[in-house]
């Protein structure tokens, strides 16, 4: 957890021990799944039901993407009115299809997907630095 300049908090959950996936060189894109939510005074989810739904959806996405290593979750940031889950991915089109299939049982969710070329996995390396680890 870190405290932001405005007095709100951001919870950071980073993934360790994925060096073999990074070393494979196959996971060259980074995807951010961003869920915007109504925040309390500390920037955290104000609605317990929505917080539970974010956890449920996050768990399902992780399981769906990681079952055959299509994509690996590298970090989850929750604070300032949004939860951002970062994946490194080997195929953007397949990721999009699997995301749609996984979320099809839910009503439309308040999420935005951002995709970036990140062949050196720079975002993940920055997260490790935040955690005080070295690659």
Is 30 domain-assigned? Answer: yes
Distance CA 63, CA 56 (A): 11
Give the domain range for residue 19: 8-131
Is 1 domain-assigned? Answer: no
Output the pLDDT for position 8: 85
CATH code of the domain in which 118 resides: 3.30.70
Is 2 domain-assigned? Answer: no
Residues in the chain: 135
Distance CA 48, CA 130 (A): 28
Domain count for the chain: 1
Is 13 domain-assigned? Answer: yes
Output the pLDDT for position 125: 80
Is 119 domain-assigned? Answer: yes
C-alpha Rg value of the chain to the nearest Å? 15
Is 106 domain-assigned? Answer: yes
Is 50 domain-assigned? Answer: yes
Output the pLDDT for position 19: 77
Output the pLDDT for position 131: 67
Output the pLDDT for position 68: 94
pLDDT averaged per 10 residues in sequence order, the chain, 135 residues: 84 82 85 96 95 97 96 94 95 96 96 93 81 49
Is 3 domain-assigned? Answer: no
């Amino acid at each position: 957890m870190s405290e932001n300049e405005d007095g709100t908090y951001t919870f950071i959950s980073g993934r360790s021990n994925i060096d073999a996936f990074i070393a494979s060189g196959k996971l060259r894109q980074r995807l951010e799944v961003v869920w915007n939510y109504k925040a309390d005074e500390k920037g955290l989810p104000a609605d317990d039901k929505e917080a539970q739904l974010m956890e449920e959806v996050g768990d399902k996405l992780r399981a769906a993407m990681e079952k055959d290593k299509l994509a690996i979750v590298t970090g989850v940031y929750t604070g300032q009115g949004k939860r951002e889950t970062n994946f490194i991915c080997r195929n953007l089109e397949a990721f999009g299809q699997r995301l749609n299939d996984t979320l099809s049982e839910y009503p439309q969710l308040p999420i935005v997907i951002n995709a970036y070329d990140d062949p050196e996995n720079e975002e993940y390396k920055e997260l490790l630095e935040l955690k005080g680890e070295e690659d």
